[in-house]
Every structure is written in C-alpha cells, then in structure tokens.
Amino acid sequence: MPAAGRAVALLDARYLRWIARLDEPDAPATATLARERMNDLVQHALHRAVGRINLLRVYWYTETDDRVVCNDQALRLLPSADADGSALVRQMSADVQALVAGGRVDVLLIGCDDDRLLAVMESARLAGLMVCVLADERAQTMPRLMQQDPNWARLLREADRRVIVRASELAYVLSAQTGSPLEEDAPAEGFEDALLAVVKAWWEALTDDDRDGLREELPELRGLPPEVDRDLLLRGKNAMGRALNFHEKRALRAQAREVALAPVVSPA
C-alpha cells in the first residue's frame, strides 16, 4: 500500500455498540454514543492493520441524530423502523458504490456484521480497493466464531484485512463524557508543571521502539492513540489525586504531543 493511501470508514452505530459490549449489565450507562474520537481510534487501528494510511472520512450510520458536529465525519440517518437492517444495507451499499466510482479511495473499512454487504464488498475488491472489516478480539479465534456466529464469520473471512479493536478500548471511546468546557472547574494552580512531570515520566518509561512508533504515528492524528490517552489520564489522575478537568486534560494531551514530537538531539 503506498504511503499516501486514502481510506474511508463506514460504521454502523448499532454494530459498534454491540462489539463494544455496551449493552451488557456491567457496561457503563451510555444512551448516546460519543463519536468525537472515533476518527483517531480508526486511524490508529488502520495503521496497525494496513500501514501508513490517511483516513479521509468516517460515515456514521444511526437512527438517532445526536446533534454533534464532528470534523471529517458524515452522519447517515436511518429510519427508526429499520428493524431488519435493510435501510442500513441499502445506504451503506450506495455509499460504497459511489466511493468506488469516484476512484479517490484506496481502502474501505466496513464496521458492520450484515452479510448482505458481501456483494458490494466484492465489487469494491474487483475495482481494486482493499476492503477491511472492523471487529473485536473474537475475530482472532475464527474457528470458534464460525460456530457461534457463522454469518459474521463469513463477512470477516471475505475481507482483505480484519481490523481488530479491543472491546474495552472501543467502549472507552464510545462512552466518553463530552460535557461543555464551560461547565468544568477551573484548573488547579501550577497544574501545568505537575502534568508535565507526569508526561516526562511516561515518556521515560517507554521503550525506544514505542517512542519511534509514536513519533511516526502522531503527525497523522489530531490527538493521541486511545491507549496512550487512557494511560496518561490515569497517571494524571493519580498525580493530582482526582479526575482531571477539561482544561487539564487538554494541557496533558498537548504536552504529550510536544514531548513525543520534540526533535531528537543526537549525542555529541
């Protein structure tokens, strides 16, 4: 795949909720999915599975208008009476066909388990696109999945790549609270120095390979990879003795990017 490869993700909100296990009894209460950080999560997952790729856009298929405006996302509203998923399949198939006809996309990432998409997926592959399917850890044990959910397994097997995202990681992103910054408490005095110490300790604890990987990956992301963000927020919480507010989280993420992307000084 060329370094300048372009990708588009087509994500069924109901499917993402299912693989994130957000409907299970012990899952966090999440009425509306938070999709603000989905682009970063998808970009990171594609980077692991495919290589250097630029995510152009995420198409989000849902029955509920969350009134959220996200960069590089297109909301596809489905009728609430779409119990059998027919409207979803029609809309997603039409979007795939339009993307293929446009000829400006190299990779399609499908986030859905409906095997009625197999025909349009094969058409895209015959047109020269790489077609991937988003899944959780269950896709790594295909023999068991073929017994438990043969239709989903068939869809996964027909994909060029299976892009794996841990269910816990996906749940963390989708259930994130997104209150207004105006409602947050003011940051504590001297918080920047305290958080910078957290970032430096985190950076020093990384291996050379992890540092090199972040230097390569961060320029393509607007924020931080989800697992890095989660680790830093936990370290910040432990350092401050409480959960970080909006201003502190933003500062922590900015400091992490600055430290990771700082020029490497070679020893004399």
As a whole-number percent, the residues of the chain with pLDDT over 90 amount to 53
Q: Side-chain half-sphere of 44: how many Cα atoms within 13 Å?
A: 22
| Structural domain contains residue 1 | no
- pLDDT number for residue 51: 87
| Structural domain contains residue 202 | yes
Residue 185 shares a structural domain with residue 170: no
Residue 127 shares a structural domain with residue 170: yes
- pLDDT number for residue 26: 59
CATH assignment of the domain containing 73? 3.40.50.1010
The predicted-structure confidence for 131-150, as pLDDT tens digits, reads as follows 999 999 999 889 988 998 99
Average pLDDT across the chain, whole number: 87
Could you tell me how far CA 227 lies from the centroid of its own chain?
A: 11
Query: Is a pLDDT exceeding 90 seen at residue 168?
Result: no
Q: Which of 174, 204, 219 is at the close of a domain? A: 174
As a whole-number percent, the residues of the chain with pLDDT over 70 amount to 88
Residue 77 shares a structural domain with residue 103: yes
Domain count, the chain: 2
Weakest-pLDDT range from 36-40, 64-68, 216-220: 216-220
Residue 194's domain comprises 181-261
**Residue 182 pLDDT grade (very low, low, confident, very high; cuts 50, 70, 90):** very low
Q: Which of 174, 191, 226 is at the close of a domain? A: 174
Mean pLDDT throughout 234-246? 82
Residue 133 shares a structural domain with residue 195: no
- pLDDT number for residue 266: 59
Q: Answer whether 93's CB lies under 8 Å from 123's CB.
A: no
- pLDDT number for residue 229: 86
Query: Is a pLDDT exceeding 90 seen at residue 251?
Result: no
Query: Is a pLDDT exceeding 80 seen at residue 25?
Result: no
Residue 99 shares a structural domain with residue 232: no
Residue 164 shares a structural domain with residue 190: no
The predicted-structure confidence for 105-128, as pLDDT tens digits, reads as follows 999 999 999 999 999 999 999 999
